Structure 1
Amino acid sequence: MLNIRKSVTRKQLLLLLLLGICVTTPMLAQGAGAITDAANSIKTYWGPLKTLIMMIGGIVGLIGGLRIYNKWTNGDQDINKEILGWGGACLFLILVPIFVGAFFGLN
């Protein structure tokens, strides 16, 4: 019986994996038509989705602000890390709709 591990080297296995990736990538790529279809489907529900993202951002921002206020009044030492995390999350929720709208031409 032939042992597969000894007969296949790492170089051959890597070459086979690379060949598999090179063959499957063109089959899965749909080109510019897929981006156009995605942009058209996003245009139909972008307004309510943008409003929902902003509402979620407001709720998360309010809860985060209350958590930071609570930690600050209790004298916790990790308040700076909490402020940076909260500010980064709020900035992310504000910038995502802008970038998605610019990418798909929805603004």
Structure 2
Amino acid sequence: MEKQRKKLLFTMLAIVFASCAFAQGNGTAGINEATQMVTSYFEPATQLIYAIGAVVGLIGGVKVYNKFSSGDPDTSKTAASWFGACIFLIVAATILRSFFL
């Protein structure tokens, strides 16, 4: 009688573990779908960052021109900071895109 209980218990455990093992396959499909969804947003996000960089560049150009026209002594500092900001946006977008895709 005791042997039958042990056999029944081991059989039940084997069935439970087997069903858990089969359930793991669906998790992989979900992770792959989530990865595809995240990577599909990178192209529009990269284009958005490039557009923001262009706007920042135009605003910076106008500010530097105004400072240069008024004879401000720190024009080169302002130009370098705006130029650096534009370069950072472009490089950051490119590096993020290449890193994640």
Tell me the TM-score range normalised by the shorter chain.
0.5 to 0.7
TM-score, normalising length: structure 2: 0.62
CA-atom RMSD in angstroms: 1.9
TM-score, normalising length: structure 1: 0.59
Indicate the residue corresponding to 1:85 in structure 2.
Answer: 81
Identity of aligned residues (%): 41
Indicate the residue corresponding to 1:25 in structure 2.
Answer: none
Q: C-alpha separation between the residues in 2 aligned to 1:84 and 1:46?
A: 29
Query: Within 5 Å, which residues of 2 pair with 1:19-98?
Result: 40-98=36-94
Which piece of structure 1 moves more, 66-75 or 46-55?
46-55
- The Cα shift of 1:38 comes to 8.0
Q: Deviations over 1:39-95 (max 9, x none)?
A: 644312111111111111111110110000000000001111101101110100110
Indicate the residue corresponding to 1:8 in structure 2.
Answer: none
The alignment of Structure 1 onto Structure 2 pairs a total of residues equal to 70
Indicate the residue corresponding to 2:96 in structure 1.
Answer: 100
Which one has the largest radius of gyration? 2
Which piece of structure 1 moves more, 41-50 or 74-83?
41-50
Q: C-alpha separation between the residues in 2 aligned to 1:101 and 1:79?
A: 33
Which has a greater percent of helix? 2
For residue 90 of structure 1, what is the amino acid of its counterpart?
Answer: C
- The Cα shift of 1:101 comes to 1.3
For residue 52 of structure 2, what is the amino acid of its counterpart?
Answer: I
For residue 53 of structure 1, what is the amino acid of its counterpart?
Answer: I
Q: Contact between 1:39 and 1:104, CA under 8 Å: does it hold in 2?
A: no
Q: C-alpha separation between the residues in 1 aligned to 2:74 and 2:33?
A: 46
Q: C-alpha separation between the residues in 2 aligned to 1:62 and 1:88?
A: 13
Structure 1 runs not aligned, ≥5 long:
1-35
